[in-house]
Amino acid sequence: MQDTFDLWEIPRAKEKYMLAGWHQWADAGSISSGLPQYLIEKLSARRIGELDSEDYYLFQIPGTHHFLRPQIKLEAGYRQAMSTRDNEFFYSGDEEKGLVIFLGEEPHLRAERYADAFFDVVQALGVKRVVAVGGVYGAVPYDKDREVSCVYSLKEMQEELTRYAVSFSDYEGGTTIGAYLADQAEKRGIEFVVFYGFVPAYDFSQFSEMVHGFSIENDFKAWYDLLKRVNHMFNLTLDLTELEGESERLFTSIESEIDRLEGETPDLRIRDYIESLAEDFTGKRFIPLGDMWTRGLRDLFDGNGGQ
């Protein structure tokens, strides 16, 4: 159904992969929406196509209209801006390898038609594998590697995915757009992986009605940990130094917030609570083989340097 999408460029790279995200329900830490946008800007990726978004969105359901309606900005009664429902494909690469980046809006209805259009583009572009990203909140340590949960489309992919320090989800309940598309991808034999990063969120209302807690709007540490996996899986050369620095600044910011809360409510022992989360935490750390060799050599030479 060619009328469901528009592609004005099909890149000719020998190998093409895709990273996909949505403005969606499972977007803790802005992993699903912010991470693709970050890559689009960092790589100066060019826009190469879009899905026809006309059929997938509601304007109003009683009681939820503020969440569904487009957002408008007025000034002296005149429209300055109006939000749109965009489902766009971007591209960065060369003749050998390319990365397609998709950023969309989770559909409200006609999900099967949406999935068909999405995978029509995947196949038209000749994409070898799609990795979708999402985020969920949890009471996890803020200064540790993020736990990553995984959903995938084809059974034979599991053995490979065990090498990416992930847990395989046993979740039951309402589906996310990523898990739904993994199901649809299997019908076409498409390799589709969803990585969900667990984003720190702390609810202190259990200790006092005066303190509600906090969560992370842009979890740069989760972005960094997920992109390490994508970088290795697709054999890309993404420079993650900037995100590594943003992760350190995030830790410092959270430390400052904990210090503030400790000073204002010392009886709640908030720091003790957060430290107890680290004691019970048994996360899986992803260290690519190349990084392991680099660290091993560094340790070897550092150890011999004093001899």
pLDDT at 67 (0 to 100): 58
Is the confidence at residue 305, as pLDDT, over 70?
no
What would the mean pLDDT of 38-55 be, rounded to a whole number?
94
pLDDT at 185 (0 to 100): 98
The b/e string for 273-293 (b: 16+ C-beta within 10 A; e otherwise) is ebeebeeeeebeebeeeeeee
Has domain 2-305 been given CATH number 3.30.830.10? no
Give the closest residue to 89 by CA, choosing from 9, 195, 176, 180.
9
The predicted model scores a pTM of 0.87
pLDDT at 294 (0 to 100): 47
- Sorted by where each begins, the domain ranges of the chain are 2-305
Total residue count of the chain as it appears in this document? 307
Cβ neighbours of 259 (radius 10 Å) = 12
How does the average pLDDT of the chain come out, rounded?
Answer: 88
Is the confidence at residue 100, as pLDDT, over 80?
yes
pLDDT tens per residue across span 197-213: 999 998 887 776 666 77
pLDDT at 270 (0 to 100): 84
Is the confidence at residue 247, as pLDDT, over 90?
yes
pLDDT tens per residue across span 108-142: 889 999 999 999 999 999 999 999 999 999 999 99
| Phi, psi of 260, rounded to the nearest 5 degrees | -65, -45
Enumerate the β-bridge partners of residue 98: 16, 93
